[in-house]
Amino acid sequence: SIPLGYFGGIGAASANGILFKGSNFLDLITKLNTVVMDKTGTLTKGVFSVQQVESSMDEQEFLDLLTAVEAKSTHPIAKAIVAYAGEKEIRPAENIEEIAGMGLKGRVNGKEVLAGNVKLLEKFNIGFEAKIKNIEESIVVVAVDQQYLGYVLIADEAKEDAADAVKQLHENGIKQVVMLSGDKTAIVKKVALALGIDAYYGDLLPEDKVARLEEIKKDQARVVAFVGDGINDTPVLAMSDIGIAMGAMGSDAAIETADVVIQTDQPSKIATAIKIGKATKSVVI
């Protein structure tokens, strides 16, 4: 059913929206036993929407300051916040810094605005109400001129084929599917359980993802793929035996670093890639 040989394998993959950057990966992918995946944008849609706004200042002013800094970011969370602002004119923001795995810092109308997670507030020694640590949903907290002012609650959802993608990996020789995420552990756990993922780790900074992958790779018997989409995923994509980028909405850096690029936003194509590798091998050998 699938064309013969390595060239045929690469062609069959390409017809399925899967780009192999070398025939060696077509062979190596058949030996995979561990697949480590990012959450946001890889297993979930990465399309957030604002659900709720909680602020101790005028809500419109609060949203205007937040939107101004988020307009300078390409993060899926930032896109949700900018979309929520609708047609409204966005204020200029300056001195924007992206703080990996935490959020943003910038200047709007002479005010210093921080927008991100609780780790960001802790990094800048900003006091906040303890209860926000217990919110089991994604929030973006905001501080203006060193003062915590509130948060917006945002939601993301699993991709339609995410559970099937994990199931198909298990059916195609993958012993362990692991999820690594910068998002809160409580959310990561919920998604992992819903999708049938074997192990999960949340609250990870980019360097924590590297440390986790090193730990996983210590077991010599493992052949490990990492699947991700973000700039933050580049180091782990490079470190894994096979780096797989979700290319449909993924960052250019992730696509360039990866060995295999899934050109649609369907994680089930990872199992398709393994199947094509196996079919190719059976005719080459």
Residues in contact with ligand ADP by the rule CB under 6 A: 38-41, 70, 73, 75, 77-78, 101-104, 115-117, 140, 181-183, 230, 232
Q: Does 98 bind Mg ion (CB under 5 A)?
A: no
| CA distance linking residue 163 with residue 195, whole number of Å | 4
When asked if residue 230 is in the footprint of Mg ion (CB under 5 A), the reply is: yes
Nearer to Mg ion, 65 or 81 (CB): 81
Closest CA to 182 of 126, 228, 241, 151: 228
State the Cα–Cα distance between residues 189 and 34, nearest whole angstrom. Answer: 19
- Least separation in angstroms between CB 243 and Mg ion: 14
Shortest spacing between CB 52 and ligand ADP, in angstroms:
15
**Nearest-approach distance from CB 31 to ligand ADP, in angstroms:** 27
Least distance to ligand ADP, CB of residue 209, Å: 7
**Near Mg ion by CB under 5 A, which window of 118-126, 149-157, 224-232, 253-261?**
224-232
* Residue placing its CB nearer to ligand ADP in the complex, 115 or 197: 115
**Nearest-CB residue to Mg ion?**
230
Cα–Cα separations (whole angstroms), residue 240 to 80, 109, 148, 205: 31, 44, 39, 18
Tell me the backbone φ, ψ of residue 260, rounded to 5 degrees: -135, 135
Return the axis-axis angle of helices 162-171 and 269-284, rounded to nearest 10°: 30
Which CB, 102 or 224, lies closer to ligand ADP?
102
From the list 41, 103, 202, 267, which residue makes contact with Mg ion (rule: CB under 5 A)?
A: 41
- Binding of residue 247 to Mg ion (CB under 5 A): no
Per-residue CA distances from 107 to 37, 66, 94 (Å)? 34, 10, 5
Q: In the bound complex, what is the minimum distance in angstroms from residue 250's beta carbon to Mg ion?
A: 8
Concerning whether 241 is annotated as a catalytic residue, the answer is no
From ligand ADP, Mg ion, none, interface partner of 118 (C-beta below 5 to 8 A by class) = none
234 makes contact, choosing from Mg ion, ligand ADP, none, with CB < 5 to 8 Å by partner type, with none
User: What is the closest distance, in whole angstroms, from the C-beta atom of residue 180 to ligand ADP in the complex?
Assistant: 7
b/e map 218-243, b = 16+ CB within 10 Å: eeeeebbbbbbbbbbbbbbbebbbbb
Regarding 40 and contact with Mg ion (CB under 5 A), the answer is yes
Catalytic-labelled residue, pool 27, 38, 161, 233? 38
Residue 234 contacts Mg ion per CB under 5 A: no
Say whether residue 38 binds Mg ion (CB under 5 A). Answer: yes
Residue nearest to ligand ADP (CB): 182
Stretch that binds Mg ion, among 9-17, 39-47, 155-163, 193-201 (CB under 5 A): 39-47
Q: Which residues are catalytic?
A: 38
Interacting residues with Mg ion (CB under 5 A): 38, 40-41, 229-230
